[in-house]
Amino acid sequence: MKKVKQFSKLLLPVLALGFFTSCSDDDDNPPATAKVSVTHASPGSPAVDIYVDGTKVTATQLSYSNTSGTAGNPYLTVNAGTRNIKVSPNGTLNVIDANVNFMANNSYSVFAYDVLGSGTTLRALVLGDDLTAPAAGKAHIRFLHLSPDAHNVDIELARTGASSINLTNIPYVGPTPAANLNVFTPVDAGDYTVSVRAAGTSPVVLSAPLTFTAGKIYTIYARGLLANIGTANGLDASVILHN
C-alpha cells in the first residue's frame, strides 16, 4: 500500500484478515459472498495469520502498516453471513476472536488497531465501503485516526488556486468509535498538501503531498505512536486505494 510520512488517530471493534473463500458443493448454487480488506495498524504488534471458522486463510502473515491485496484491489472474498474470525501471530494466542456478520455483495474494510497490552488483545474497526464511482473530476476520501497516544487533530488539505478542505478536532477512534466513520467525502481530483496539527494549535506534526486521481476512492489513516516518532512504530500515515 502507498505510504505517507507521519500522522494522527480514529475507530470500532471486531476483526477479520486474509483470504476467505470456499467452494460450493453445487456449482449451480455458489455461496453468496462479500469483499473484505484487512489492514494491520497496531504498532509493535507481530505479523499475524487469519483464521476463518477455524481454518487458516493467510498464505503469508500480514505485518504492521500493510493491507491485504494490492493497491487498487485490496479486497479478499469471504462467504456472506456470520463468520468466526481469529487473528493470531502463532496459531495459539488469539489477539482477535470475534463473530462478524458480512452481508452479501457488500464491501468492508477492517483495521486492527491499538497496542497489545496485558490482556493480549487488539481492537478492530469494521467499516462498510461504498464503492460507488465518484462523479466526473472527483475522488472520494476518508480519514481515520488510529494513533493510540495522539491527541485530537485538525487536518487541512491545501490545493494551489483552490480553497482548503479542513477537518477539525478529529479524535482517536478508541474503544467506542464514532458513527459515520465509513463515509467517503467527494473532493476535486488533483495534487494536495495534507497538514496535520494537534487540534486548535499551529505547529504541523505532519505535512505530506497527496495526489487524488479522478474516479478513485481512498482511505488515509493515522497509525503509530507519537511518543516513538521517527522510528518504525512512530506516528505516521498510510493510504489505501480501494479501486
Residue type, 71: A
Query: What are the strands of the beta sheet with 107-113, ordered from one edge?
Result: 76-79, 33-40, 107-113, 123-129
Q: What is the DSSP letter of 173?
A: -
**Is the pLDDT higher at 2 or at 112?**
112
Is there a contact between 144 and 77 (Cβ–Cβ < 8 Å)?
Answer: no
CA dihedral 84, 12, 10, 45 (to 10 degrees): -30
Which among 69, 118, 105, 64 is positioned nearest to 87, based on CA atoms? 64
Q: pTM for this one? A: 0.83
Reduced to 3 states, what is the DSSP secondary structure of residue 165?
Answer: strand
Q: What mean pLDDT do residues 134-162 have?
A: 91
What is the model's pLDDT at position 99? 87
Q: What is the mean pLDDT of the segment spanning 160-187?
A: 88
Facing residues of 83 across strands?
100
* β-strand pairing of 217-223 with 138-145: parallel
Q: Give 132: exposed, middle or buried? Use CB within 10 Å, 0-12, 13-18, 19+.
A: exposed
Report the b/e string of 38-48 with b at 16+ CB within 10 A: bbbbbbebeeb
CA dist 212 to 57, 141, 216, Å?
32, 8, 7
Q: For 175-227, how does the pLDDT look when each residue is reduced to its tens digit (9 = 90+)?
A: 888 888 999 999 999 999 988 888 888 888 778 899 999 999 999 998 888 88
Q: How many C-beta neighbours within 10 Å does residue 143 have?
A: 23
Mean of pLDDT over the chain? 83
Q: What is the pLDDT of residue 118?
A: 57
What digits encode the pLDDT tens for the residues 66-93?
A: 998 888 999 988 899 998 888 888 888 8
What pLDDT, in 10s, does the model give residues 94-130? 888 888 899 999 999 988 899 887 566 888 888 999 9
pLDDT for the residue numbered 119: 62
Confidence of residue 53 (pLDDT cuts 50, 70, 90): confident
